[in-house]
Homo-oligomer: A and B are copies of this chain.
Amino acid sequence: MTKNRLEAFSDGVIAIIITIMVLELGVPHAPELAALIPLIPIFLSYVLSFVIVGMWWNNHHHLLHAVKQINGRVLWANMLLLFWLSLFPFTTAWMGENNFAATPVAIYGGVLLLAAISYNILVRVLISIPANEGLAHALGSDLKGKISIGLYAVAIPLAFVSPWISCALYVAVAIIWFIPDRRIEQNVER
């Protein structure tokens, strides 16, 4: 079974998710610069989510690049990841429109955590296919994935201390992933 359509479908879904988030930026009716001020928190939540969805796409791109074979279980594990990503426009808008209040920030992190766990499941399902042993070797202990899950899990309750700590942690995970997994790149190229 080829991975081409899996990549194409995931690209389509992620492209739509990253683009429709901007629809939450309601167009102001007044032509003054001041009319943009109430949009600042919505814009900031959009920027954060754009970076995070971009990060997921990059990781997905790198992960599947190293994959030789897929099966029916991979299709469903991938669908689970896409499901959590599809909730981003909702959580992004809720967080932005409520000015980064504690509960929306925690729920935003909850969806991030569930996406990270799904990504981990996808990695495990892919590694369990014998033809992908190069991927298992390349990923090693998948430290980045485990740190991400840990940071998201910590960030959720911290939202009720200060939502800004949580947001800083969400940004921290994005920075960790910013440089795509060189281990995969190097091992694949060998």
Would you call A13 and B13 a contact (CB within 8 A)? no
One complex includes copies of this chain to the number of 4
If over half of A's interface residues share one DSSP class (helix, strand or loop), that class is named, otherwise mixed; here it is helix
Name 9 extra pairs, CB < 8 A, besides A9-B15, A25-B90: A5-B7, A5-B61, A11-B12, A16-B19, A19-B20, A31-B99, A33-B103, A36-B107, A72-B182
Determine if A54 is an interface residue (Cβ-Cβ < 8 Å). yes
With contacts A13-B19, A15-B16 known, is A185 near B104, CB below 8 A? no
Is A120 positioned at the interface, with any CB of B under 8 Å from its CB?
no
Minimum C-beta distance from A18 to chain B (A): 6
A82 vs chain B, min Cβ distance (A): 8
A5 / chain B contacts, CB cutoff of 8 Å: 7, 11, 61, 65
Distance of A133 Cα from B137 Cα, bound (Å): 33
Give the contacts of A38-79 with B (CB-CB under 8 A): 47, 50, 54, 57-58, 61-62, 65, 71-72, 75-76, 79
Contact of A57 among B9, B27, B97 (CB under 8 A): B9
Count the A residues whose beta carbon is within 8 Å of the partner chain — how many? 63
A93 in contact (CB, < 8 A): yes
- The answer to whether A93 and B18 touch across the interface, beta carbons within 8 angstroms, is no
A132 at the interface (CB under 8 A from B): no
When C-beta atoms are compared, the residue in chain B nearest to A27 turns out to be: B93
The reply to whether B20 and A72 contact each other, CB–CB distance below 8 Å, is no
Complex contacts, A98 vs chain B, CB 8 Å: 29-31
In the assembled complex, the Cα of A35 lies from the Cα of B57 at a distance in Å of 31
A105–B54 Cα distance when bound, in Å, is 29
In the bound complex, residues from chain B placing their C-beta under 8 Å from that of A87 are 22
**Is the CB of A125 closer than 8 A to any CB of chain B?**
no
Alpha-carbon separation in the docked complex, A31 to B86 (Å): 20
